[in-house]
Structure 1
Amino acid sequence: MSQEAIQQEPRLESVPTDDLGDADAHTCEGLVRGAFGERFTPHDWQHALGGTHVILRDGDRIIGHAAVVPRLLHHGGDDVDGGFVEAVALDPEFRGTGLGARLMAAIEEQIESEDMVGVLNSLPDAVGFYERRGWVLWRGLLGGIGNTEEPTPPEEDDAVMVFRPEPRLDPDGTLLVNNRVGSRW
């Protein structure tokens, strides 16, 4: 591989929300909105703020984004530090190139380095991608911390997944998460 080809390899950057410039934030939000269309609600970008963004750049162009945001989880009577993965998107031009796997590897490394339990809500057609990476579908009950309603099984359109849950979590148990505006998961 030539030196020029090596320099042109898309690069990953990890950026805390506080250091994410307005232009990059706007570009990342646009990339994610483009990937999810109308499913991306007004609250969804807000859910991606407050943690660490992993950005994939091809030259000056942002071609991928994912964020991991701290959230409190409760499982088996214990509070657990969660790292909720939000706003994962890759420019369609680069899909199938392995760059999505690079993006997720950086997110997973962030989760492990902070000793958090990784959680995400996948689109149904992406579940296989995440399963191959060690993510496990949550089969037990889901609910909110401090809510008066009882936890329920995952809804049909939810694919809540946890990253390498054993031995800390039992995917057949009950998982609660702190509440937020918009969708819980």
Structure 2
Amino acid sequence: MPDTEHAHHAFLRQTTLPDGTPIRIRRIRADGAAELQRAFHQLSPGARNQRFLARKDRLTAEELDFLTHADGRDHLALVVAVLDAAGSEVDKIAVARSVRDRSDPSVAEVAVIVKDEWHRRGVGEALLTNLAAWAWQTGVRRWRAYYWKDNAGIQRLLAKVGVKRYEQRESPGILEAEYALQAPPG
């Protein structure tokens, strides 16, 4: 298995969005549960529904523990934070994760959520591009995703980091799709 400790640091980076907004993409922190709960409550009910595929009003303590304790090998999680002029994080605007399938270690389930006001500004693409590169370093070659059939945004995002291998109906209105990841440049 590739050296995941190196991968942890490789995706701790600062960049700018197409509109010039400075951001940091980094690993989610185990001590970030309260911060994640606050960010969750800033999401619209529609955004929560798109991410969790059901109405979701709050995150339980167990969910917060799972979401903030990514091991960096089988469970990868990155957060995007907006930076102020001094380089301090002022707002967490997106989270994405890749959780390895226990029965096939080359496959992981992917999920992403971006705050409503940051949609279509390049946040999701920056986040998933970095997460895909990290996942590749840990041996993941395909992402499986579950989404509402009318969620064109996630379908566009996933097509930027992988090639759709299949898409099938999972349950009424929900699709399961698998994307072959592209090897990161270099």
Q: What's the TM-score, normalizing by structure 1?
A: 0.60
SS at match of 2:108: strand
Match status 1:103 vs 2:127: yes
Structure 1 residue 40: Cα displacement: 4.5
Q: Higher Cα Rg: structure 1 or 2?
A: 1
1:31–1:119 Cα change, 3 Å: farther
Q: Quick one: distance in 1 between partners of 2:93 and 2:132?
A: 19
SS at match of 2:171: coil
Letter in 2 for 1:120: A
- Give the corresponding residue for 2:11: none
Match status 1:134 vs 2:162: yes
The answer on whether the counterparts of 1:118 and 1:163 sit within 8 Å (CA) in structure 2 is yes
The answer on whether the counterparts of 1:65 and 1:90 sit within 8 Å (CA) in structure 2 is yes
Question: How many residues are treated as equivalent by the alignment?
Answer: 142
Q: Quick one: distance in 2 between partners of 1:23 and 1:64?
A: 15
The answer on whether the counterparts of 1:138 and 1:162 sit within 8 Å (CA) in structure 2 is yes
Structure 1 residue 10: Cα displacement: 1.4
1:128–1:69 Cα change, 3 Å: same
1:162–1:8 Cα change, 3 Å: same
Q: Where does structure 1 lack aligned partners over 5 or more consecutive residues?
A: 74-78, 141-152, 167-185
Q: Quick one: distance in 2 between partners of 1:135 and 1:122?
A: 16
Q: What's the TM-score, normalizing by structure 2?
A: 0.59
Letter in 2 for 1:23: A
- Give the corresponding residue for 1:70: 100
Structure 1 residue 120: Cα displacement: 1.5
- Give the corresponding residue for 1:149: none
Q: Choose the corresponding residue for 2:147, options 106, 122, 132.
A: 122
Q: Choose the corresponding residue for 2:79, options 55, 58, 62.
A: 55
Deviations 1:29-80 (A, max 9, x none): 435674224824578983746422211111321011111222224xxxxx44
1:62–1:21 Cα change, 3 Å: same
Q: Where does structure 2 lack aligned partners over 5 or more consecutive residues?
A: 1-15, 84-89
1:27–1:43 Cα change, 3 Å: closer
Structure 1 residue 110: Cα displacement: 2.1
Comparing 54-63 and 64-73, the one that deviates more? 64-73
Q: Quick one: distance in 1 between partners of 2:42 and 2:131?
A: 18
Letter in 2 for 1:93: E
